[in-house]
Amino acid sequence: MFSNFDYDVIWRSLPYLFQQGMAFTLTLTAIATVFGLILGTLIAMMRLSSSAVLSGFAVSYVNLMRSLPLVLVIFLFYFLMPYVGQWIIRSDQPVQVGAYASTIVTFTLFEAAYFSEIMRAGIQSVPRGQVMAGYAIGLNYREVMRHVVLPQAFRNMLPVIFTQTIVLFQDTSLVYVLSITDFLGAASKVAQRDGRLTEMYLFAALVYFLICFTASFFVKRLQKRISIIR
């Protein structure tokens, strides 16, 4: 099977694969994680709010995003948002939304729904007595959330947050539908250009496996450490 395996095509393609492909994959993962976590935390707080309007909006948003395939959300945002923007600003032409901006916004909004559920569980894991103690010493709602609840929620859910980030890292390969060069897209282009599909796809699979397996290993160690602290 590997008698005609061309290792040289992999070696020659390493700068392109990592400097352009992997660089975009990691950038998208980092941006979507940071902003998705921020937005997800706000959505989680809205869902736990006593306001029926805020809670209802948060529930609807989470259920909608979690019920749609990510690739479909990517398509919907990329093809529909120019016309939605045109309607909002009353323009004569569709608003130009590039593939890169569309991808970043789509991944952020999509991941926010999952991070919101993680943060909601984290917020609810904080003992009610600590919340009441915060009010007892004169803190208002915002200060209790900032200084008492959210730091503990982040710490409690840190392994789950990292696990979701690993899933997000894998999902970035879906940007190929918009012809964006991520790591898998770069490997695919080299494979088609040189006619070496087996070599490039096996190498891409190996890289994804090593990164995700290593990250998962450290997440397990972090989870054990947090469980000991608690």
- In eight-state DSSP terms, residue 147 is I
Residue 97 lies in a domain: yes
**∠ CA 199-205-207, rounded to 5°:** 100
Residue 50 lies in a domain: yes
Flag whether 1 is in a domain: no
> At 106, which amino acid appears?
T
What percent of the chain clears pLDDT 90, i.e. is strictly above it? 50
Q: Are 168 and 107 in contact (CB under 8 A)?
A: yes
What are the CB-based long-range contacts (under 8 Å, 24+) for 191-195?
Answer: 194/6, 194/9
Cβ neighbours for 90, distance < 8 A, ≥ 6 positions apart: none
pLDDT in tens, 60-74: 999 999 999 999 999
Q: What is the pLDDT of residues 105-143, one digit of tens each?
A: 999 999 999 999 999 998 888 888 888 888 888 888 788
Segments of the chain scoring below 50 in pLDDT: none
The answer to whether residues 24 and 99 touch, using CB atoms and an 8 Å cutoff, is no
Does residue 22 lie within any of the structural domains?
yes
- Is residue 2 included in any domain, yes or no? no
d(CA 227, CA 190): 45
pLDDT score for 99: 86
**Which 3 state secondary structure label does DSSP give 90?**
coil
Q: Which of 100, 194, 8, 103 is nearest to 186 (CA)?
A: 194
Of 2, 27, 59, give the one whose Cα is nearest residue 169: 27
- Contacts of the segment 88-95: beta carbons below 8 A, 24+ positions apart: none
Q: What is the DSSP letter of 94?
A: P
| Alpha carbons 25 and 202: distance in angstroms, whole number | 18
Residue in the block written with tokens 């469980």 = 227
Question: What domain range is 123 assigned to?
Answer: 7-229
Q: Report pTM.
A: 0.88
* pLDDT value, residue 230: 55
d(CA 217, CA 215): 5
Q: Which residues of 104-116 are buried (b: 16+ CB within 10 A; e: fewer)?
A: bbbbbbbbbbbbb
Count of domains for the chain? 1
**The CATH number of the domain where 141 resides is what?**
1.10.3720.10
